[in-house]
Protein backbone atom coordinates (compact mmCIF):
# COMPACT_ATOMS: atom_id res chain seq x y z
CA UNK A 1 0.00 0.00 0.00
CA UNK A 2 1.50 3.34 -1.02
CA UNK A 3 0.17 6.85 -0.66
CA UNK A 4 -3.54 7.00 -1.31
CA UNK A 5 -3.73 3.55 -2.89
CA UNK A 6 -5.04 0.50 -1.06
CA UNK A 7 -4.38 -2.31 -3.47
CA UNK A 8 -6.23 -1.13 -6.55
CA UNK A 9 -8.43 1.30 -4.60
CA UNK A 10 -7.69 5.01 -4.29
CA UNK A 11 -8.78 6.71 -1.08
CA UNK A 12 -11.89 8.87 -1.25
CA UNK A 13 -11.62 12.60 -0.57
CA UNK A 14 -13.85 13.37 2.42
CA UNK A 15 -15.21 16.91 2.20
CA UNK A 16 -15.58 18.31 5.70
CA UNK A 17 -17.96 21.22 6.16
CA UNK A 18 -17.83 22.84 9.58
CA UNK A 19 -20.78 24.77 10.91
CA UNK A 20 -20.07 28.50 10.33
CA UNK A 21 -19.79 29.18 14.08
CA UNK A 22 -17.37 26.25 14.71
CA UNK A 23 -13.72 25.67 13.88
CA UNK A 24 -13.89 21.97 14.84
CA UNK A 25 -16.17 19.18 13.67
CA UNK A 26 -17.09 16.56 16.29
CA UNK A 27 -19.30 13.59 15.58
CA UNK A 28 -19.88 10.00 16.63
CA UNK A 29 -21.02 7.11 14.51
CA UNK A 30 -21.83 3.43 14.39
CA UNK A 31 -19.97 0.88 12.29
CA UNK A 32 -20.55 0.31 9.47
CA UNK A 33 -21.17 3.94 8.52
CA UNK A 34 -20.97 5.65 5.09
CA UNK A 35 -18.01 7.86 6.09
CA UNK A 36 -16.12 4.93 7.66
CA UNK A 37 -14.10 4.06 4.57
CA UNK A 38 -10.60 4.42 3.09
CA UNK A 39 -10.46 8.23 2.89
CA UNK A 40 -8.32 11.32 3.24
CA UNK A 41 -8.99 15.03 3.85
CA UNK A 42 -7.01 18.24 4.41
CA UNK A 43 -7.96 18.45 8.10
CA UNK A 44 -6.33 16.78 11.11
CA UNK A 45 -8.43 14.08 12.75
CA UNK A 46 -8.39 12.72 16.29
CA UNK A 47 -10.21 9.39 16.31
CA UNK A 48 -11.39 7.37 19.32
CA UNK A 49 -12.66 3.80 19.09
CA UNK A 50 -15.14 3.21 21.91
CA UNK A 51 -15.78 -0.47 21.25
CA UNK A 52 -14.99 -3.21 18.80
CA UNK A 53 -11.74 -4.52 17.38
CA UNK A 54 -10.19 -4.57 13.96
CA UNK A 55 -7.47 -3.24 11.72
CA UNK A 56 -6.29 0.34 11.36
CA UNK A 57 -4.98 1.33 7.94
CA UNK A 58 -3.08 4.64 7.84
CA UNK A 59 -0.92 5.43 4.82
CA UNK A 60 1.30 2.36 4.44
CA UNK A 61 0.77 1.23 8.07
CA UNK A 62 -1.49 -1.64 9.11
CA UNK A 63 -2.13 -2.19 12.82
CA UNK A 64 -4.74 -3.46 15.24
CA UNK A 65 -7.20 -1.46 17.33
CA UNK A 66 -9.54 -2.15 20.21
CA UNK A 67 -11.67 -0.20 22.68
CA UNK A 68 -9.95 2.97 23.86
CA UNK A 69 -7.77 3.28 20.74
CA UNK A 70 -6.92 6.95 20.07
CA UNK A 71 -5.08 8.17 16.97
CA UNK A 72 -4.19 11.47 15.32
CA UNK A 73 -4.20 11.51 11.52
CA UNK A 74 -2.55 14.34 9.62
CA UNK A 75 -3.87 16.13 6.55
CA UNK A 76 -3.98 14.08 3.37
CA UNK A 77 -3.12 10.82 5.17
CA UNK A 78 -5.47 8.07 3.95
CA UNK A 79 -6.94 6.07 6.82
CA UNK A 80 -9.64 3.59 7.77
CA UNK A 81 -10.66 1.55 10.84
CA UNK A 82 -12.09 -1.78 9.70
CA UNK A 83 -13.94 -4.20 12.00
CA UNK A 84 -14.69 -7.73 10.82
CA UNK A 85 -18.42 -8.20 11.31
CA UNK A 86 -20.94 -10.85 10.42
CA UNK A 87 -23.45 -9.82 7.73
CA UNK A 88 -25.98 -7.41 9.24
CA UNK A 89 -23.97 -6.88 12.43
CA UNK A 90 -23.46 -3.29 13.72
CA UNK A 91 -21.35 -1.77 16.45
CA UNK A 92 -23.40 1.05 17.98
CA UNK A 93 -21.44 4.23 18.74
CA UNK A 94 -18.09 2.69 17.81
CA UNK A 95 -16.33 5.92 16.83
CA UNK A 96 -15.82 9.47 18.09
CA UNK A 97 -14.18 11.82 15.57
CA UNK A 98 -12.79 15.35 15.97
CA UNK A 99 -11.62 17.09 12.78
CA UNK A 100 -9.94 20.49 12.65
CA UNK A 101 -7.75 22.80 10.59
CA UNK A 102 -4.31 22.57 12.20
CA UNK A 103 -2.96 25.51 10.22
CA UNK A 104 -5.64 27.74 11.73
CA UNK A 105 -4.47 26.73 15.21
CA UNK A 106 -0.84 27.40 14.32
CA UNK A 107 -1.72 30.88 13.05
CA UNK A 108 -2.83 31.70 16.61
CA UNK A 109 0.79 31.38 17.82
CA UNK A 110 1.24 35.14 17.51
CA UNK A 111 -1.28 35.71 20.29
CA UNK A 112 -0.95 32.36 22.08
CA UNK A 113 2.74 31.39 21.93
CA UNK A 114 2.06 28.13 23.81
CA UNK A 115 0.43 26.80 20.66
CA UNK A 116 3.89 26.71 19.09
CA UNK A 117 4.31 23.35 20.83
CA UNK A 118 1.74 21.95 18.38
CA UNK A 119 4.13 22.30 15.43
CA UNK A 120 6.14 19.21 16.38
CA UNK A 121 3.00 17.16 17.08
CA UNK A 122 1.39 18.19 13.80
CA UNK A 123 4.56 17.34 11.87
CA UNK A 124 4.61 13.83 13.35
CA UNK A 125 0.86 13.41 12.70
CA UNK A 126 1.41 13.63 8.95
CA UNK A 127 2.41 9.94 9.21
CA UNK A 128 -0.24 9.18 11.86
CA UNK A 129 0.20 8.80 15.62
CA UNK A 130 -1.36 6.11 17.81
CA UNK A 131 -1.70 7.02 21.48
CA UNK A 132 -1.63 4.33 24.13
CA UNK A 133 -1.55 3.83 27.87
CA UNK A 134 -2.25 6.80 30.10
CA UNK A 135 -2.30 9.23 27.15
CA UNK A 136 -5.15 7.35 25.45
CA UNK A 137 -7.01 6.87 28.75
CA UNK A 138 -6.78 10.62 29.41
CA UNK A 139 -7.72 11.63 25.85
CA UNK A 140 -10.83 9.43 25.55
CA UNK A 141 -13.05 11.25 28.11
CA UNK A 142 -11.82 14.62 26.85
CA UNK A 143 -12.91 13.74 23.32
CA UNK A 144 -16.25 12.51 24.63
CA UNK A 145 -16.78 15.76 26.56
CA UNK A 146 -16.36 17.92 23.45
CA UNK A 147 -19.54 16.47 21.95
CA 50 to chain centre: 13
For 39-96, how does the pLDDT look when each residue is reduced to its tens digit (9 = 90+)?
999 999 999 999 999 999 999 999 999 999 999 999 999 999 999 999 999 999 999 9
d(CA 70, CA 139): 7
Q: How confident is the model at residue 8 (pLDDT cuts 50, 70, 90)?
A: low
The domain limits of the chain are: 29-146
What does the pLDDT read at residue 123?
Answer: 96
What does the pLDDT read at residue 37?
Answer: 94
What does the pLDDT read at residue 1?
Answer: 34
Q: Stretch 6-28: mean pLDDT, rounded?
A: 83
Asked if 38 and 53 count as a contact pair (C-beta separation under 8 A), the reply is no
29-146: CATH architecture: Sandwich (2.60)
Amino acid sequence: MKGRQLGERTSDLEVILNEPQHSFRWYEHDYPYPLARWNHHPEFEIHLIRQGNGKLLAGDYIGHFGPGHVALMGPGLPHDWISDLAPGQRIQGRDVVLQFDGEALLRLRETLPELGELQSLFSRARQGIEFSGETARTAAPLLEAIG
